[in-house]
Structure 1
């Protein structure tokens, strides 16, 4: 049984590629009473095979759409500072 589970985990991690930390979180949550948060598309693909449940948020929230590229040299860029502050304001509770 261990070998089958090990092969399943390896296969899952291979398919997920660059998002291994999300995969590890999903695997940890699947074997515990912990909560985790993933994109809906990830849940739709892997939720059933991993036996995960989907819960509604227990509090209201608004959607925030943003695209940001961050490089160290942007740290003092005035426009980038404004954008970072705007994002912080939008996502603060």
Structure 2
């Protein structure tokens, strides 16, 4: 989004069912800015710091997925989702 490269971990915005809103990882500050200014992004989205191992691309682990020539659908790995939803539900 901002054009500056990402490190080994980045932030994604995902729905509570684990579907990542866009297959673009963001810097934490860029994600905060997007959430604060974009009316299309919902407050119920999960904001998570992830590594490629935490994501699935069209059902495959992201590091094992072939290079994307078209749009991929990213989802959180089930273990990452379970932890995130558990953390969000905690008081």
Q: What range describes the TM-score normalised by the shorter chain of this pair? A: under 0.3
* Greater RCO (Cα-Cα under 8 Å, separation 6 or more): 2
TM-score, scaled to structure 1: 0.22
Larger Rg: 1
